[in-house]
Amino acid sequence: MTASQRPWTAFYGPNVRPDIKAAPYRTIGEMIRAVSETYGKAPAFTACLPNGMNGTLSFEDVDRMSDAFAVYLREVAGLKAGDRVALQMPNGLGFPVAAFGVFKAGCVLVNVNPLYTADEMAKQFADAAPSALVIVDMFADKVPAATRGHPIPNIIVTRVAEFLPALPRGIVGLVQKHWDKSVKPVEVPHIRLPDAIAAGRSHQDAEKIEVDSYRQSVQPDDVAVLQYTGGTTGVAKGAMLTHANLLMNMTQTVELAQEFEKGKEVALTALPLYHVFAFSLNLLAFYWIGARNILVPNPRPLSSLKRAFENYKITWMSGVNTLFNGLTHEVWFTDSPPRHLKFASAGGMALQSSVAEEWERITGKPVLQGYGLTETSPVLTFEPLGKQRAGTIGVPLPETMVACLDDDGQEVPIGQSGEIAAKGPQVMAGYWQKPEETAQVMKNGWFLTGDIGVMDADGYFTIVDRKKDMVVVSGFNVYPNEIEDCLATHPGVLESAVIGVPDNATGEAVKAFVVKRDQSLTEADIRAHCKAHLTGYKVPKQVTFRSDLPKSNVGKILRKDLRAQELAQTAAE
């Protein structure tokens, strides 16, 4: 790659290396070990609950506990290198311990959305075939239904207040059990995470096990994480992110930002860590730079973040448009905005210019927009600090080539739109056991994003449209096929089509067009049916009944015609 092909390198900060040949570590396990030794007793993770109760693990603690968990996985649970371990929990101290343990054991981490319904979990489990599942107690009641037909041999149960000091942990436990009733009894044979760690530790001490030996066989190009994105056919599709993918993306992102001081940052993690954006940036990149990570289990209602902002000197946070927009409308936030913030990073969905402006007006610090996909570990582009341009997704990261291509795979001239394609060390190895799906997005060395964009003469990119039918609701991908499949199982539905429509709150929202079989079918019926089978963000926000749907001459439903009609209607209003 030469500078002339990458006009954006002129907009990098003075110390940014445009080319990064190799990641600083071979594997994520190696990174965790090295970083833990550097920062030792400094706080690495603090879980902060809405009422301010909290617990902290130092780098040393996380290192030691994840070692023990790795030993548990390998010696007690009997897993081998390359076996999958599913992790299904909200942000909390159990997350880094379990995730890092999986990497140290040489196993593959599978992130699962804790709010998934049993149906959705079952699809993902069937595809990934995990040998172990670490799940939060609040959702463990879904396990029997989700594992029917393909049992998971090892179930490890954790909790929201895991590893908090005994008194707050006890109080949270009592409140969850007797007040919210959010914790139900776990019906399947299982072990608690602290017990698993204790078992691993006693094994480690008794047998004098060298945890480092587990990852000796692991290569940089081996899969580290299966990150699911849903699938065009409604079947779960796991992006294989290798150790090199994730370590490089972490290095590239930190390289472009340049603003971070090692060992000094305090990051607010309000986005869920099971989502690739927070996983890569907050969990891995900020661990690497020795930051203290403030983990918030659930940012809803937004007042749950109040104590985290009051009690910790947050220097950086990641978020999605929805979160930034919401915070700018909270009186407690606008009254006392974080004073130590350097800047914030937005991803997952388009950041509205009005939100970015309002945020900067209130906090005095910019929110920079980035762009990427699950398949690219995830970051491809980011706005460089001090040279941000509202409305753009910024410039490509170091060691990354991004271009807009026409239908023949040729680069379009500057200023013209084309499908955004990328090359770089962060591009996934492919979809797990789906060579055909992989071939569709990997062409001539490019990864095709499905987004239509424009590059200006300086190398800043702007998203203008999307090629795929996928809908992005507040940072989460929704595939119309999956929703239509679900609608088809309702006896009152003859046929349906699902598209994304612009939405002020979520960027895009799911809209379903339904042709009735049973004339008494109501919108509420449709919503209740979807709610029973799909996670909340996938449930259609709008439902319109029609007598027919636009179809091609071979009978294929034309979503693009519906979209065009919808846009014309919105424009007319």
Partner 1 sequence: MVSPLEQAVLALMIFAIMLGMGASLTPRDFYLALRRPYGLIIGLVSQYGFMPFIGFMLATLLTVPDAIALGILIMSCMPGGTTSNIFTYFSKGNLALSVLMTVTSTVAGIVMIPLVLVIYASALDLDIPRENIIATLVLLLVPVGIGMVLRKINANVGAVTEFIGSVLGIVFILFLVVSWIPRNWQFLLETSSATYIAAIGIGAAGITIGYFFARALKLHPRNARTVALETGIQNGPLALAIIVFTFPEEEAAALTAVPVLYSLFIMFIATFVTLIFRRANTAAEQKLPDGLL
Interacting residue ranges for partner 1, rule: CB under 8 A: 48-49, 51-55, 90, 115, 164-165, 167-168, 171, 271-272, 298-303, 307, 310-311, 320, 322-323, 326, 329-331, 335-336, 349, 473-476, 505-506, 535-537, 539
Closest to partner 1 by CB, 167 or 457: 167
Comparing C-alpha atoms, which of 379, 460, 482, 464 is closest to residue 417? 464
CB of 378 to partner 1, least distance (A): 15
Instruction: For the CB of residue 541, give the shortest distance to partner 1 in the complex, in Å.
Output: 8
Which residue, 262 or 531, is less far from partner 1 as judged by CB?
531
Alpha helices in 74-233 (DSSP H): 94-104, 118-128, 143-146, 166-174, 193-207
Is 395 in a helix, a strand, or coil? Answer: strand
End-to-end CA distance of the chain: 48
Q: How many CB atoms lie within 10 A of CB 116?
A: 22
Nearer Cβ to partner 1, position 116 or 287? 116
Smallest separation, CB 12 to partner 1 (Å):
31
Output the smallest distance, CB 62 to partner 1, in A: 19
CB of 271 to partner 1, least distance (A): 7
* CB of 113 or CB of 426, closer to partner 1: 113
Give the shortest CB-130-to-partner 1 separation in angstroms: 22
Shortest approach of partner 1 to residue 496 CB, angstroms?
A: 20
Separation in Å, CA 508 to CA 331, 475, 569: 26, 9, 16
Task: Please count the residues of the chain.
Answer: 573
Shortest distance in whole angstroms from residue 114 CB to partner 1: 8
- Tell the smallest beta-carbon distance from residue 266 to partner 1 (Å): 14
Closer CB to partner 1, residue 218 or residue 510? 510
In the complex with partner 1, the residue whose CB is nearer, 330 or 411, is: 330
Closer Cβ to partner 1, 51 or 569, answer by number: 51
CB of 330 to partner 1, least distance (A): 7
Considering the complex, state which of residue 307 and residue 365 has its C-beta at the smaller distance from partner 1.
Answer: 307
326 vs 398, beta carbon nearer partner 1:
326
Nearer to partner 1, 31 or 49 (CB): 49
Per-position b or e across 511-533, b if 16+ CB within 10 A of its CB: bbbbebeeeebeeebbeebbeeb
* Nearest-angstrom CA–CA distance, 276 and 378: 6
- Helix, strand, coil tally for the chain in percent (to 5): 35, 25, 40
Judged on CB neighbours under 10 Å (0-12, 13-18, 19+), 483 is buried
Q: Residue 263 phi/psi, 5° resolution?
A: 80, 5
- Angle between helix 28-39 and helix 59-71 axes, rounded to 10 deg: 140
In sequence order, the β-bridge partners of residue 226 are 110, 240
Long-range contacts of 349-352 (CB under 8 A, 24+ apart): 349/320, 349/321, 349/322, 349/472, 349/473, 349/474, 349/475, 349/506, 349/507, 349/508, 350/321, 350/463, 350/507, 351/321, 351/324, 352/321, 352/325
HEC secondary structure over 190-224? CEEHHHHHHHHHHHHHHHCCCHHHHHCCCCCCCEE
Closest separation in Å from C-beta 505 to partner 1:
5
Shorter beta-carbon distance to partner 1: residue 264 or 300: 300
Give the Cα separation of 447 and 544 in Å (integer): 36
